[in-house]
Amino acid sequence: MPLPLVAILCPREFKFGDPAAAVECSVLDGTAMVHTLPLDINGQIPAEALEADALIFWHGPFVNGEVIARLKRCRAIIRNGVGYDTVDIKAAAARGIPVCNVPDYGTEEVADHALALALTLCRQIFPLAAEAKRLGWQINVADKMRRLRGRVFGIVGLGRIGTATALRAKAFGFRIVFHDPYLAPGAHKALGIERVDSLDELLKLSDVVSIHCPLTAETRGMIGTQEIALMKLSTFLVNTARGDIVQKAPLFAALREGRLAGAGLDVVEHEPLRTAEEAATPNLIVTCHAAFCSPEGMIEMRTTSAKIARAAVRDEPVWNRVN
């Protein structure tokens, strides 16, 4: 009998692509054949993928109900990453296909990145560097620089990454508050942080607002004009979760008009930035959806997704199932 097929779908331009799939092959050796299928970011799912016993997706086209209906013998769809909004999980569940993600691979990296953005904003690192490189020494942003101790660091979503971020921010002396309507009562007490009852309350209190919730129908566009208006003029907004949680137009307008002190975004709505005007937005730091990046994190993520695929093709229980 031929071995089962595990297909890895990877965009052609993706920098972490590895046609040899060395990490996955080491996990699946003797259990399954591994084929890497390059595809365009908005292209069609290759015919070979429809024959696979398990699919591992990086980034790419939306795996909708029509695609799922055409899968011949798929026993698991695995998202190489935390987010799974590119897969129709209900359609997959209707066909009995588990959809799994890798929610814990980049916890350290994303939490580190969120703190790096927050500290860079609070201490005005980029304006100071620009001043020094102009051979000046005026410290023109002295009035914008913040002492960290005692400032309120508000976290939206206290999952793995939100918790890791809270611990890091607490070590810097921030007062940590969070809002997460799905967290069990009392779970925050072990961390020594404060819970608030509503997003509005958190936005009013915080000097830094850091987003750490998943993108869902509930959270899409959750931070918009009304929410930004609740924040203090001195507040910094950080988003290392999903771009579509924060509405780009009202955020950039608030930055241009001085109604918000600054923003540090690893992700943006409709990424990447589209115009020179967007790129010129004042008091804005943008990184390239790179918070998760590190060689160690990539190996950890790929190993986990390959292990889930191995369990699936062996008809063993899978984990990290989201449907």
Across 96-159, the runs of DSSP E, i.e. the strands, are 99-100, 152-156
In the chain, the percentage of residues whose pLDDT exceeds 70 is 98
pTM: 0.86
Tens of pLDDT, residue by residue over 47-62, are 999 999 999 998 777 8
CA distance 211 to 117: 12
Domain range annotation of the chain: 5-105+294-313, 107-286
Across the chain, the runs of DSSP E, i.e. the strands, are 5-11, 33-39, 54-57, 77-79, 99-100, 152-156, 175-179, 194-195, 208-211, 236-239, 262-265, 284-286
Q: Output the tens digit of pLDDT for each of the chain's 323 residues.
A: 789 999 999 877 666 667 788 999 999 999 999 999 888 767 788 899 999 999 999 877 788 999 999 999 999 999 988 888 889 999 999 999 999 999 888 899 999 999 999 999 999 999 999 999 999 898 999 999 999 999 999 999 999 999 999 999 999 999 999 999 999 999 899 999 999 999 999 999 999 999 999 898 999 999 999 999 999 999 999 999 999 999 999 999 999 999 999 999 999 999 999 999 999 999 999 999 999 989 899 899 999 999 999 999 999 999 999 99
In this structure, whether the domain defined by 107-286 belongs to CATH 3.90.1150.10 is answered with no
Q: Give the count of beta carbons closer than 10 Å to the beta carbon of residue 36.
A: 18
Per-position b or e across 52-61, b if 16+ CB within 10 A of its CB: bbbbbbbbbb
In this structure, whether the domain defined by 5-105+294-313 belongs to CATH 3.30.420.40 is answered with no
Question: By the 8 A CB rule, do 286 and 248 touch?
Answer: no
Q: Name residue 37's beta-bridge partners.
A: 9
Fold matches, 5-105+294-313 and 107-286:
yes
CB contact set of 186 (below 8 Å; sequence gap of 6+): none
CB contact set of 277 (below 8 Å; sequence gap of 6+): none
Three-class secondary structure of residue 119 per DSSP: helix
Residues forming the active site? 242, 271, 289
